Structure 1
Amino acid sequence: MKIVTTEMATEAEQAVLREGIVRFNHEAVPDLEPESAEVRFFVLARDEQDVVVGGIRASCFWNTLHVELLWLSPASRGAGLGRQLLSAAEEKAKQHGMELALVMTTSWQAKPFYEKQGYTLLSSLEGMPKGHTSYTLQKRF
């Protein structure tokens, strides 16, 4: 047996890992929706010149919307665009049967924003990154 650390695994290696954990999870909890049913999507905001000025990258699996990234250009902030993007992502998640949303943010990012949108603090981790705090927030639909 040898242990190898690599910056990038091949597609075949990634498939072995993905299929292995899906199989393991299915054997442990047969009625659990498999990770292979994951839906990934983006919600984008474009200006009049069709330039992306903000957006969300998200995924849905195990009845949960995972907000992976939300970004707005500086000129687009403070006008309600973030709320509109998040609402659109939540609506898409509901269409896929999701019942819960999770988001991770940091002390200098958007915790108050998510709380205004109805998210509640699930956990906090001081020192991640060093000198700051990371927060996980949730919202039930």
Structure 2
Amino acid sequence: MKIILSTSPTQTQLAAIHQGIADFNAPFLPNDTPHGTGHKFVITAQNGDEIIGGLQASIVWSHCVLELLWVNESARGSGLGSQLMQQLEVFAHEHKLHQIRTETLDFQAKPFYEKLGFSVYGILENTPPEHTSYFLVKHL
């Protein structure tokens, strides 16, 4: 047996891990969505070919994990972030997902998420050092 660390995992490695955990979880967490756990997707805002904002998310069991949300500085304050989040909620409802979870740092977007109906369910102080991480959820 070998233990191998890969910073550039192959599709075969990713698929083996994904399928292994899916098989283990199946008796306890039947997948009630058309996409399996780990399905990644993005929603982008574009001006022509230029991406000026977007989000990256994934499906885990029957909820959505918002991994990244970014809006170009020139478009901040225009409502674009809210529009991206509205599209995420539409996607989540269409796929019968029960909640959206995310994480943000103290200098990032906690008030933005709270304005959209998210609530804090966890806090890690000094993570990363000298900052606080907030874990938020919105039940759909």
4+ aligned runs moved over 4 Å, structure 1: none
Distance 1:59 1:13 in 2: 18
| Paired letter, 1:8 | S
Q: Structure 1: which 5+ residue stretches go unaligned?
A: none
Deviation string for 1:90-113 (max 9, x for gaps)?
Answer: 111110001111011111110010
Deviation string for 1:45-86 (max 9, x for gaps)?
Answer: 112x44111011112232211111100000100111101110
- Paired residues in the alignment total 138
Structure 2 match to 1:14: 14
Structure 2 match to 1:23: 23
| Paired letter, 2:108 | Q
**Residues 69-80 of structure 1: pairs in structure 2 closer than 5 A:** 69-80=68-79
Distance 1:34 1:88, change over 3 A: closer
Identity rate, percent: 36
Q: Bigger radius of gyration, 1 or 2?
A: 1
Structure 2 match to 1:32: 30
| Paired letter, 1:21 | I
Q: Assess if the C-alpha contact under 8 Å between 1:120 and 1:139 holds in 2.
A: yes
Give the CA RMSD over aligned residues: 2.0
More helix by share: 1
Distance 1:64 1:9 in 2: 25
